[in-house]
Amino acid sequence: MHQRTPIVGGNWKMNTDLASAVELADDVVAGCAQLVQHCDIAVFPPFPYLQAVGKTLGHHGILLGAQDVYYESNGAFTGEVSGEMLVDLNVAIVLCGHSERRHVLGEDDQLVNLKARAALDAGLWITLCIGETIEQREAARTEEITLGQLQAGLDDVPIEQMRQVVIAYEPVWAIGTGRNATPEDAQAAHKAIRERLGDLYDQSVADSTRIQYGGSVKANNAAELFAQPDVDGFLVGGASLKSQEFVAIVKAAAKADHLARR
Ligand code: PEP
């Protein structure tokens, strides 16, 4: 079976202040620095704290992530931040199409794709977030929506850049709600996503692309989700603000016995 390095990200959203962001980063380093050989680990602080958090992460191997990116390199785009600027701050990975950007801030598939391509061209990894709303799930449209967002988000992304791409399946109804998909629901969606990656690219891309699950992941449900064969890690919101919870989730994904089964 294909070996995929697990990947866990902590999306801090619009939370923390400068002091608590640095403290949280410090605690993540203390709890996770030994785990980076087994699992890719990223934290996504708010933009203003990227530099301070990056300094705290130092050279311990934990990736600095950004929550968003604009698709132009520079110019008259007040308030926006380019991929090149993120690279300048040692950011390694950026979220594209998080459901809060899609559903609260109005980003559509076309904008998500522009951002994804610009970030990839700047040399960043991306986490492309996809997932259905509760209305879409109840209308049995989960695959149609999720795979549609996958295809649109990756439009014109060449196969050579797919090694920079991580997919996060995040059902919107499970984000920040305390409800999460059952391991079987998550596995079904992840399997469909992997198959579509095979159709869009090839079997090697399907086998090697990491697919994270996101939506109310906690220390007490991470292991059973990670036990699913197509779940390669997590994108964690609320629980990533508590270092102990986050470290426990990373440990669930970094366990050698799970890896042996992949
Ligand atoms: C997220 O922000 O991507 C997320 C999954 O949030 P939460 O873990 O709080 O549901």
89-126 confidence digits (pLDDT tens): 999 999 999 999 999 999 999 999 999 999 999 999 99
Does position 259 have pLDDT exceeding 60, yes or no?
no
- 219-249, pLDDT tens digit by residue? 999 999 999 999 999 999 999 999 999 999 9
Start-to-end Cα distance in the chain: 6
**Strands (DSSP E) along the chain, which ranges?**
7-11, 40-44, 63-66, 93-96, 125-130, 165-169, 211-214, 233-236
Residue 37 DSSP class: T
- Ligand 1 closest atom vs CA 217: 8
Of 11, 68, 96, 99, the residue with max ligand 1 atoms within 8 A of its CB, to mutate for a pocket test, comes to: 11
Distance CA 44, CA 130 (A): 17
Handedness of CA 54, 59, 65, 66 (dihedral sign): positive
Give ligand 1 pocket residues (Cβ under 6 A).
11, 170, 175-176, 214-217, 235-239
> Which of 73-82, 177-186, 244-253 bottoms out in mean pLDDT, i.e. has the lowest?
177-186
pLDDT band at 2 (very low <50, low <70, confident <90, very high): low
Of 98, 99, 216, the residue with max ligand 1 atoms within 8 A of its CB, to mutate for a pocket test, comes to: 216
Mean pLDDT of 124-144: 96
Mean pLDDT of 145-161: 98
